[in-house]
Chain A
Amino acid sequence: MKPLITALLCAVALGAHAQFNTMEPRAFSNAEGKTLTDRIVKYDSETETVTFEKNGKIPLDTFSEADRKYILHWAQVEGFRSSMRFKLEVDKSSWASMKHEQNVTPYYIDAVQIPGKRTPNHTIIELEDYEEYTAVYLEAEGFEIKIRNQNFFPIENITVESKIFYEQEQYILPDSLFLSSENEYTDSVVTNRFRFLSETIPIIIPREEVFLNSEAAIIVDQQVERSSLVSTSNNEDDSDDDSDDGTESVEGFGEWDDHGRRRKGRVLGVWFRVGIVGLDGEMVWRDIASPNSIMDKWESFETAGLPEPKETEADQPAQS
C-alpha cells in the first residue's frame, strides 16, 4: 500500500510541477534593453502584470513591444488550453425534416428521341390494376458547438473545424418495373460519409458565447411497398403486351411482392476541433466529439473519415 501511495504522490507532484515547466525559460527584455530569462507563470489582464517563476510580478508595460506581444499571446494560448476557462460543449439536433408518402399507380415510360426534335416522345403504360406505396423521409441533422470564453481577456483568430459522420444506404439497381425476377431489390449498400466544415472566428471576448454548427447530414429513409394489389381482375389490357396480365405476377416484372425495398441512414457522430496559433506558430488544437468513441476510430482529425480507419471491422471505406 505504502509504495503505491508514494508513487501516487510523486506523480501528482511531478504533474503539478510539469505544468510550469513545459517550456524552456525565455529571455525577456525591457525598454532599456535589460534582459531576464525566466518562465511565465501567469498573466493578470486586470492589473496587466506578468508573474514569472523566479522574478515574481512585473508590470507588462515594462517590457519591449515584441515581448508584450509574446506575453499576451502566451496568455491567450494558456487561456485557450484551459478546459475551465475556455469551454466547449457539443449538442446534436434535428434541423429540418420532410416527409412524403403516397399510394400511386405504377407506370412504365419509354422515351424516344425523334431526330430533329428538342424533347423526347413518350410511350406510357400504366398498371392500373396495381398500386404501390412510396414513402420518403428526409431529415437534416447536425451538431452545434458552444464555445464560451471565461477568460478575462479575448481569444483571437480561432479556427473551428468539424466532421460530421453518417451512413446512408444506397440502391445499386434503379427502381425499374422491368427488372427481372432475379433482382429482388435486396441490393442496397451502406456508404459511410462525412462532411467537413472549417470556419474562423476573429475574436471571442470575455464571457461571450459563440455557437457554430457542423455541416448538415442528410439522412434519407426511402421505402417502396408493392404488396398492395388493388385487384386481380382479368380485364384485357389493350395498351401493350408488357402490361399486367390480370394475375399477381406480371410478365417481365418478377414477383410483384418482391419489388418492395427500403433504404435508410443514420448519423454516427461529430468530431469538432477548435484551434488557435500556438507560440511556436503551429496550431494548438482542442478536440471534442459526440459520442467520444468517434475519436477512437481514427488516428487523427485529419485522417478521420478517410479510407483505412484504425478499426476496419465492418466499416466500409468512407467517402471523402
Chain B
Amino acid sequence: MEVQKKKKRIANSSAAILSIAAHVILFLIAGGVVALKYYQKEGAGFQVETQKPKLERRKLQMPVKAQPFMEQMSKPKSRSTSRITANAPQLVNIPEQGEYVKMAPMPTFKGGYTNFVQMDRTLEFNSKYRDVSFGVSSVNFFGTRGKAEKVVVIVDASKSMLYDDRGGVDSYLKVQQDLKDVIGNMRSATLFNVVLFDDDEVALFNPHMVPATPTAKTNVLDWVSSINTNLDYVGLPEGYANYTPKRAYEIPMANNDITGWLKGFQAAIEQKPEIVFLLTSEWGNVTSMNYGISYFLKQDKFKEYQKKRIDFFLQDEDFKEEWDGYLAEYDELRTVAIKMLELENQARYAAEMQPKVVRDWDEILYDNKIELPDAPLAGDQESVGMMPVETRYTFDEVLQSFFVIVMDNYRQLGFPSLNFVLLQGSGSSSTSAETAAMMTSDAKFKNLNNMVGGRFRYLKGEAKINNLLDQTIEDVIDAIQMASGEEL
C-alpha cells in the first residue's frame, strides 16, 4: 500500500511540475512576445539578406583567393633560393583594412580606425582595386631576396661602413649602387621606404612608405647618393635625422640606448612593411677594435660604473700617482695619434685618395704597432660596488627588445620577412674565440637571423686600404715639435 501511495504522489508532483513549467514557458513567451517576434522576423530576414547583391558585390571587390600577406609573413621562411624567386605571386597583399573588417563594403568607411596609419590607408584602400600582383616586386639586396608589395631597406650610414679594413669609400659606393638597382627595379605600385641610421640618428626618406614611381625613385637616389661619398664629412649630414618613435615600448633597453641598426629597424617596423632588408656593419653601439666584440652599452650605468671604478682605485693613495702617470701617457699618445692621422691624410690627399676614417684616435697607433697601456683591473670586483656586466645589455635583453618592437606593431599579424646583410672586412674571419662565446656582431646577427627564419648574407667589403706611411712615435714627436717651432 505504502509503495502505491508513494507512486501516486510522485505521479501527482510530476504533473504539477510539468504544468508549472508549461505555464512558465507560456508566460515567458507572452512576456517577451515583442522581443521574440523581433528575433523571429530578423531570422527570416537574415536568409534574405545573404542574397542581397550588395554583399555579393563586396566579394568581387576583394581578391579573396589570395592569402592575407601577413599570414604568409608569419610562416617560417623558406631558405631555398628557388622558392624565393619563384614567379607564383605568393606574397600577395590583401590590405590590412580587409583583414580588419571582413564583411564591410569598403566605401562606407569614412572615419578612421585608430589602428590605421592615416596616410597608409589611402594606399591600402586603393590597392584593393588593382591587379593582385601588380605591386609585388622582386627584391635582391646583396643576395637576400624576397617578393613583396611593401618594402623597407635600412642602410647603415655611419662611419663604421668606411673603415680602411672594410674597403673605405669603395665599399659604400657598392652599397649605394646595389640600393639603386633594388629601387630602380621596383614596380611603381610597390610601396617602399629607405631608412638610414648613424648611431642614434635615423633618417627616413619619407615619413610613410611611398609608391616606387619614377619621381620617388629619382628623389630617393639623390637623397642617398650625397651621403658618405666625400669622407671629409662622414655619417648622416646635419638635418637628415627626422625620426621620432611613434610609441613607447616596454622593453629592457632604455630609449637612449637604442641606437644603430636597432633604432633604424624600429623606424622601419613602425611602417609595417612586409619585408625588411637591413645592411649594417656592427651589432651594438660599442665594438671593440681589438676583439671584434660588439654590444649595446647602458650609457647611464656605464658612466656610474666608471666613476665607481676610479673612486675604488683612488682609495689607495699610492695609486693616485700611478693613475696620473697613466693619464699623462694617454694624453701624449693622443697628441701623437692625431698628428699621425694628419700626416697620413696629407699623404693620402697627395696621392688623390680619400682621407682615412678611424674608429677612435688610437686606431692609427695600433696600425703603427703602438699600444695604449692597459688600465688596471680590480682584484676584487665586488669592492668596486658594481659589476661591469651591469653596464651592457645581454644578448637576451636585446632580443626581447627586438621582439617587443616587432610584436607591438604587428601583433596578430606575426613577423614580417627579415633579411640581414653584414658588411665584413675582406680579411676578417668569423671563427674566433669571441665568436664561440657569442660576443661578435656576426655571431649575434646569425643567431637572430636563425630565430626569425630570415636570410643572412655577408657583404664582403673591398680590399683593405693600407696606410701610406709607416710612422714611429719618435718621428711624429719630431714632426710635432717642428710644427710648434714653425708656429713660434
Q: Which residues of A are in contact with B by a Cβ distance under 8 Å?
A: 1, 5, 8-9, 12-13, 15-17, 19-20, 41-42, 46, 51, 84-85, 93, 95-96, 98-100, 102, 104-124, 126, 128, 134, 136, 138, 140, 142, 144, 150-152, 174-180, 195, 198-203, 205-213, 215-216, 218, 220, 222, 240-242, 252
The answer to whether B334 and A208 touch across the interface, beta carbons within 8 angstroms, is no
B291 neighbours in A (Cβ, 8 Å): 122, 124
> Please, how many angstroms separate the alpha-carbon atoms of A13 and B331 in the complex?
94
CB distance from A177 to the nearest CB of B (A): 8
> Please, how many angstroms separate the alpha-carbon atoms of A241 and B433 in the complex?
20
> If the complex has contacts A121-B372, A218-B403, are A179 and B360 also in contact, measured as CB distance less than 8 A?
no
B287 neighbours in A (Cβ, 8 Å): 119
The answer to whether B46 and A102 touch across the interface, beta carbons within 8 angstroms, is no
Q: Which of B23-31, B172-180, B261-269 contacts A (4 or more CB under 8 A)?
A: B23-31
> If the complex has contacts A116-B331, A120-B286, are A41 and B27 also in contact, measured as CB distance less than 8 A?
no
> Please, how many angstroms separate the alpha-carbon atoms of A93 and B413 in the complex?
11
For B13, the closest partner residue in chain A by CB is A1
Of A5, A104, A122, A208, the contact of B293 (CB 8 Å cutoff): A122
For A156, the closest partner residue in chain B by CB is B111
B111 neighbours in A (Cβ, 8 Å): 202-203
The answer to whether B396 and A13 touch across the interface, beta carbons within 8 angstroms, is no
The answer to whether A179 and B407 touch across the interface, beta carbons within 8 angstroms, is no
B101 neighbours in A (Cβ, 8 Å): 208, 210
Closest 8 CB pairs of A and B: A16-B31, A202-B111, A140-B407, A112-B375, A208-B103, A176-B387, A105-B437, A176-B389
CB distance from A92 to the nearest CB of B (A): 11
Of B42, B112, B293, B411, the contact of A215 (CB 8 Å cutoff): B411
The answer to whether A112 and B436 touch across the interface, beta carbons within 8 angstroms, is no
CB pairs A–B below 8 angstroms (11 shown): A9-B20, A13-B31, A85-B42, A96-B415, A100-B396, A115-B331, A116-B331, A124-B434, A142-B412, A152-B42, A199-B114
The answer to whether B437 and A122 touch across the interface, beta carbons within 8 angstroms, is no
B88 neighbours in A (Cβ, 8 Å): none
The answer to whether A98 and B452 touch across the interface, beta carbons within 8 angstroms, is yes
> If the complex has contacts A95-B414, A105-B433, A116-B334, are A180 and B27 also in contact, measured as CB distance less than 8 A?
no
The answer to whether A114 and B372 touch across the interface, beta carbons within 8 angstroms, is yes
The answer to whether A12 and B407 touch across the interface, beta carbons within 8 angstroms, is no
The answer to whether A122 and B290 touch across the interface, beta carbons within 8 angstroms, is yes
Of A115, A177, A207, A211, the contact of B46 (CB 8 Å cutoff): A207
> If the complex has contacts A12-B31, A13-B27, A16-B31, are A121 and B407 also in contact, measured as CB distance less than 8 A?
no
> If the complex has contacts A12-B27, A111-B388, are A118 and B49 also in contact, measured as CB distance less than 8 A?
no
> Please, how many angstroms separate the alpha-carbon atoms of A115 and B331 in the complex?
8
B438 neighbours in A (Cβ, 8 Å): 102, 104
Excluding A108-B389, A174-B387, 8 further A-B contacts by CB distance (< 8 Å) are: A19-B35, A95-B414, A96-B415, A138-B400, A176-B389, A178-B381, A202-B113, A216-B408
The answer to whether B110 and A96 touch across the interface, beta carbons within 8 angstroms, is no
The answer to whether B34 and A218 touch across the interface, beta carbons within 8 angstroms, is no
> Please, how many angstroms separate the alpha-carbon atoms of A198 and B110 in the complex?
19
**A-contact 0/1 string along B411-433, CB 8 Å cutoff:** 11111000000000000000001
B45 is an interface residue with CB less than 8 A from chain A: yes
A123 neighbours in B (Cβ, 8 Å): 374-375, 377
The answer to whether A111 and B399 touch across the interface, beta carbons within 8 angstroms, is no
Which B residues from 421 to 465 make CB contacts under 8 A with A? 433-434, 436-439, 447, 450-452
Which B residues from 354 to 412 make CB contacts under 8 A with A? 359-362, 372, 374-375, 377-382, 387-392, 394-396, 399-400, 403-404, 406-408, 410-412
Could you say which interface size class chain B belongs to?
35 or more
> Please, how many angstroms separate the alpha-carbon atoms of A180 and B434 in the complex?
25
With most chain B CB atoms within 10 A of its CB, the pick from A41, A106, A107, A177 is A107
The answer to whether B447 and A102 touch across the interface, beta carbons within 8 angstroms, is yes
Which B residues from 273 to 294 make CB contacts under 8 A with A? 286-291, 293
With most chain B CB atoms within 10 A of its CB, the pick from A111, A202, A218 is A111
A138 neighbours in B (Cβ, 8 Å): 399-400, 403
The answer to whether A134 and B396 touch across the interface, beta carbons within 8 angstroms, is yes
Of A19, A51, A104, A180, the contact of B437 (CB 8 Å cutoff): A104
The answer to whether B394 and A175 touch across the interface, beta carbons within 8 angstroms, is yes
B129 neighbours in A (Cβ, 8 Å): none
CB distance from A28 to the nearest CB of B (A): 18
CB distance from B149 to the nearest CB of A (A): 21
**A-contact 0/1 string along B1-29, CB 8 Å cutoff:** 00000000000010010001001100110
The answer to whether A96 and B381 touch across the interface, beta carbons within 8 angstroms, is no
Of A99, A119, A200, A240, the contact of B114 (CB 8 Å cutoff): A200
CB distance from B55 to the nearest CB of A (A): 8
For B54, the closest partner residue in chain A by CB is A205
CB distance from B298 to the nearest CB of A (A): 10
B412 neighbours in A (Cβ, 8 Å): 93, 95, 142, 144, 213
For A199, the closest partner residue in chain B by CB is B114
CB distance from B287 to the nearest CB of A (A): 7
